[in-house]
A and B are shown apart, each in its own frame.
Chain A
Amino acid sequence: MDAINSSSARKDNLAMIIFVAVVLTAPLWGKLIGAGYPDLLQKFAIFGLFAIGFNLLFGLTGYLSFGHAVFLGVGSYTAAWSFKLLSMNPIPAVIFALLLSGLFAAAIGYVSLKRTGIYFAILTLAFAQMGYNLAYSVLTPITNGETGLRVLRSDPRIIDSAFGVQIEGSPIGSFFGIEMTGYSGFYFCAAMLIVGFYVALRVFRSPFGMKLVAIKSNQTRMEYTGYNPKPYLLTVFIISGMYAGLAGALMVIVDPLAGAERMQWTASGEVVLMTILGGVGTLVGPLLGAAVIKYFENIFSAINETVLQATFDFLPAGLQNFMVAVVHPFVGEGWHLTLGVLFMIVIIFMPGGIMEGIRRLTNWVRRRKE
């Protein structure tokens, strides 16, 4: 699934079918690893989408944006305002989030793409940090600051009220009557993920994608051949920003709350880490990276001493206590440590991330067969 190895359309179709099957059956296989509950599956899909979009920029062109979270935030706030002013239907929220994040991406991209390398990274970082700091403080009338923008029953919602839709209790996103919580929320995200993955696949295979890869390998040479790389770069930057905006909108659709912290540099850094961990420039890698990080954040952090005691209950008492003592620093409040160790191990032994590991594994299996 490497961008460079242009494979046949049939192979792509097969990959797409497998991908759809895996995504749609997530509630089933999720149970096996303790991730089979709607919120985490939603996060897998949303951050997967975010990372796939980020990888379109970083993986194809090599331009490392360190401020992609700003689009996540813009998407979130837009969706929340769409919920507040127009309708609880996710469709307008998605459309407006795409438009507005695209607009922001166009503006930020236009300026930032004047520079390359680390200078580009810092420009994007600077824009995102300005967004975050302002959203947290002086823009509170728009963002509701630290508390986060919430959707209230008393909001106007002109479209909904025109159709006489009444909200009882707290407003929840509603896709023509289907409430966007729980598994129905997940399937909405999953549908978006599948669309996003398909678009990414098409971009990877398109002449446009090839040109982007050419930019990565040698921008100067490309300029000599008469291509001006800027429009291509800006286009992919906008597409990538819209993926982030869509992810941000989805966060609000399944859980109507938008907070400034989504724009903080740590959030931008997180998507960078997800992509590198999974495998830069691969189609599935970023998705895997996103899933691994979210899994650690939600599942490892929840393992406390009591759970450990129960897990090692089958061992004799002394050994049980020993195992608990050994494992304990790495779970619960120590989940960050595990994540850090994981980053190091993966990148030391598998340059190219998890996908590299998978490739090596399949090669090894193949060789064993022969």
Chain B
Amino acid sequence: MDAILIQILNGLDKGGAYALIALGLTLVFGTLGVVNFAHGALFMLGAFVSVTVQNILTISRKVKDESITFFDAYKETPYLEIWWGDTGAMIIDYAVPISIFVAIPVMLLIGLAMERGLIRFFYKREDADQILVTFGLAIVIQEIVKANYGANPIPTPAPEVVAGSAPVGSWVGLGADLVYPWWRMIYLSFALTVIGAVFAFLHYTTFGMVVRAGMHDRETVGLLGINIERRFTIVFGLAAVVAGLAGTMYTPILPPDYHMGMDFLVLSFVVVVVGGMGSLAGAVAAGFLLGILQSFASMNEVKSIFPGIDQIIIYLVAVVVLLVRPRGLMGKD
């Protein structure tokens, strides 16, 4: 019972991440009709916003370690701590949450620049061209990050108070062994909030309604004399922000490295397609579905019956779903 409950939590948490990444991807495809292979790179950039914020907050006074003579080794004390003591230390501790506020404008700018500078020239081009150009862009972004931050993962811990685990078991009366990391629960709630906000935005604002109309029938909306182009730009910016936030918040769980975007790229496409290309609700549903199934498939009990099932479950589910539902879970023809 404990085991199942906790795997559900794991699944929800994974699903939250998958859904968040897939959301932007499907939004861009649904409105702009662009297959964006650089979406993973946006996720990675978001993660590196938090690395950068942390680096800035921890700019340190360096005291040379005199015992080492062959090169310069330092004992580092961040200026924030020197100036403000415990308050400074606390600010540094909260680097990741602070990064969210930085990530929103930064990712929006990156998204807008990407759309205006490159993507908009590819609306009318073939899928193949879109794939190659966005893949090329992804590689370029990745290499720039690698040149500046190296290839190794960089630790970006969660704030001290939520770095450990919550006694979930004793809350629900299932024993003290059942614990779950605070940050993962925060991530899940954050994911749900962002998803909710995006849905609300698309449903309850005029802007959103036009965008949704555009997803259904781009030509008609264009005929109505609405400047759809400008809205596309904003949608792309929005997608970049969502992907970026997914990355920023994920850093305490997965210390970021330059390649993490590529690692998630294929997965996010699978989620989007299983959900139904261009369907927001589908992407979210598929994200949670795949997350939960993946967690269950990794249980020892399951693996002993189907060896290796945890390695292929996502793809297996994708095949089954696409065979049963030609346009994914919630796709439309």
Contacts and interface: CB of A to CB of B under 8 A. Distances in A.
Chain A directly contacts chain B within the complex, with at least one CB pair under 8 Å = yes
Interface stretch (A86-94, A123-131, A312-320): A123-131
Contact of A277 (B35, B126, B132, B270): B132
A334 B143 contact: yes
A1 B91 CA distance: 64
B121 A348 contact: yes
A4 B61 CA distance: 69
B318 A115 contact: no
A342 B139 CA distance: 11
B62 to A, nearest CB: 27
A115 B315 contact: no
A115 B326 contact: yes
B9 to A, nearest CB: 25
B224 interface: no
Interface residues on B, range: 35 or more
B311 interface: yes
Contacts of A347: 129, 132-133, 136
Nearest to A119: B322
Contacts of A130: 311-312, 315-316
B21 to A, nearest CB: 16
A269 B322 contact: no
B287 to A, nearest CB: 15
A138 B266 contact: no
Contacts of B326: 114-115, 119
A351 interface: yes
B270 A126 contact: yes
Q: Is the interface of B mostly helix, strand, loop or mixed?
A: helix
B142 interface: yes
Contacts of B143: 334, 336-337, 340
Contacts of A118: 35, 127, 273, 277
Contact of B133 (A119, A122, A269, A343): A343
Which of A111, A123, A130, A136: most chain B CB closer than 10 A? A130
B138, B144, B266 interface centre (most CB from chain A within 10 Å):
B266
A23 to B, nearest CB: 26
B148 to A, nearest CB: 11
Interface in B120-147: 121, 125-129, 131-133, 135-140, 142-144, 147
B125 A351 contact: yes
Contact of A340 (B35, B127, B129, B138): B138
A138 B327 CA distance: 32
Interface string A94-118: 0000000000000000010011001
A269 B136 CA distance: 12
Contacts of B142: 336, 340
Nearest to B140: A340
A119 B273 contact: yes
A273 interface: yes
Contacts of B138: 340
Contacts of A351: 125-126, 129
B273 A329 contact: no
Nearest to B309: A138
B135 A269 contact: yes
B164 interface: no
A213 B139 CA distance: 32
Contacts of A341: 136, 140
Nearest to A108: B319
Contacts of A123: 318-319, 322
Given A118-B35, A276-B128, A127 B315 contact: yes
B307 to A, nearest CB: 5
B327 to A, nearest CB: 7
